[in-house]
């Protein structure tokens, strides 16, 4: 059983603006961090879709999105001590099982799950997967799924996303958090990939990406 010290966050509505998801905060509409980071992969995704064809690309994207959503849900339910794994598909349960072992070994006091956050300083918003003690240190924890193993240099956007959540969380709560934990469940792998990094190693790149995104939408 996981222990919780739940913090209360204001719920935020979302709207589609300029082709992306925006959160309506008390201080204005801020783009989601996932929308912002999409600027980094836009060209690569377009090239991949052209290479494999729209039908195949749509099928793969839909399957990956459903798998990711369901594994995320199992992680959230498990940490909330209320998982009913029987309603999920076998391969989804298998991927969750890999993450479960890591959570059992490392997760401590839980402060938040799937909560809306925003930063007036960065001008962005989003929903964080989990904020909790990890190996004794307060961390932003993000769950990912993948079809194959990832190299660290391929997933800079994951670290930027989590670094942004560190800033958002501190702004909203006054509680500093500087550790990033990315847990990636990989198909056909018994253990997930786990990357533990520092916020300050990635927040600078995140700020550059935010500026790049704003340039792209403002023309």
pTM of the model: 0.91
pLDDT tens per residue, range 1-26: 899 998 999 999 999 998 899 999 99
- Per the prediction, the chain carries an average pLDDT of 89
Q: Which residues pair with 127 in a beta bridge?
A: 116
**Chain-centroid distance, C-alpha 193:** 15
pLDDT tens per residue, range 139-149: 999 999 998 99
Distance CA 61, CA 6 (A): 34
So what's the pLDDT on residue 204? 97
> Does residue 179 contact residue 132 with C-beta atoms inside 8 Å?
no
159: left (phi over 0), alpha (psi -120 to 50) or beta: alpha
- Domain ranges for the chain, please list them: 13-218
Element at 8 (helix H, strand E): none
Yes or no: domain 13-218 corresponds to CATH 1.20.144:
no
pLDDT tens per residue, range 78-122: 999 999 888 899 989 999 999 999 999 999 999 999 999 999 999
Asked which of 57-71, 150-164, 186-200 is least confident by mean pLDDT, the reply is 57-71
Asked which of 160-164, 197-201, 215-219 is least confident by mean pLDDT, the reply is 215-219
Percent of the chain with pLDDT strictly greater than 70: 88
Per-residue pLDDT for 219 more than 80? no
**Considering Cα of 26, then 206, then 37, then 39, what sign does the dihedral take?**
positive
């Amino acid at each position: 059983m996981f222990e919780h010290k739940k913090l209360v966050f204001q719920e935020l509505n979302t709207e589609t603006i300029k082709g992306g998801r925006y959160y309506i905060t008390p201080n204005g509409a801020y783009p989601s961090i996932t929308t912002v980071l999409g600027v980094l992969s836009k060209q690569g995704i377009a090239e991949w879709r052209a290479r494999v064809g729209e039908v195949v690309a749509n099928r793969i994207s839909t399957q990956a999105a459903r798998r990711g959503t369901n594994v995320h849900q199992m992680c959230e339910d498990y940490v909330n001590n209320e998982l009913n794994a029987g309603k999920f598909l076998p391969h989804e349960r298998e991927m969750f099982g890999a993450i479960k072992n890591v959570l059992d070994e490392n997760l401590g006091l839980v402060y938040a799950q799937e909560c809306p956050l925003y930063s007036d300083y960065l001008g962005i918003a989003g929903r964080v997967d989990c904020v909790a003690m990890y190996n004794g240190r307060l961390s932003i924890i993000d769950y990912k799924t993948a079809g194959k193993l990832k190299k660290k240099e391929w997933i800079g956007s994951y670290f930027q996303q989590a670094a942004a959540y560190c800033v958002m969380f501190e702004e909203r709560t006054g509680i500093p958090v500087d550790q990033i934990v990315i847990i990636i469940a990989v198909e056909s792998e018994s253990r997930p990939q786990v990357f533990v990094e520092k916020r300050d190693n990635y927040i600078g790149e995140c700020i550059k990406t935010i500026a790049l995104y704003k340039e792209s939408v403002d023309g």
